[in-house]
Structures are given as C-alpha cells and as structure tokens.
C-alpha cells in the first residue's frame, strides 16, 4: 500500500504545471548583462531588482531585469 501512495504522489506532481520565464539581469552601473535566471510570472509580475556581484565593476551593484 505504501508503494501505491508514493506512485500517486509522483503522478500528482506531474499534473501541476509551473510556468517559469527566463529573465536576464543587467548591472545598473555598467549596463552589462551578467546573470540569467528564471522567475514565476504569476508570483512576481513586476520587474526583478536585486544586489549581485558585477565582475566588470568588481563590486556588488543593483541588477535589474531586462528584456
């Protein structure tokens, strides 16, 4: 019976569809596109903005989502 429950859980996970979109993050100082990420459009409809390390500026800067 335990195997039957595990198989049901696996099939249940396949039924759930998660829509993730590929995005690119660009440094706000030097405008270089440094990072590729994915995000869920449903949970975060606005543009993403985060502090990350820029290897061209050699410092942590704010990176914003680009098209």
- Cα separation, 67 vs 49, in Å, equals 13
Q: What is the mean predicted confidence (pLDDT) over 52-62?
A: 97
- Beta carbons within 10 angstroms of residue 28's beta carbon: 13
pLDDT in tens, 3-38: 554 555 555 555 566 789 999 999 999 999 999 999
Q: List 39's β-bridge partners, or say none.
A: 21
- Do the strands 59-66 and 33-40 form a parallel or antiparallel pair, or are they unpaired? unpaired
Mind listing the domains of the chain with CATH numbers? 21-67 (2.20.28.120)
């Amino acid at each position: 019976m335990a195997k039957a429950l595990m198989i049901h859980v696996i099939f249940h996970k396949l039924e759930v569809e998660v829509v993730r979109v590929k995005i690119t993050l660009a440094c706000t100082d030097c405008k270089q596109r440094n990072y590729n990420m994915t995000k869920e459009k449903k949970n975060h409809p606005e543009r993403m903005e985060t502090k990350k390390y820029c290897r061209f500026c050699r410092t942590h800067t704010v990176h914003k989502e680009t098209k």
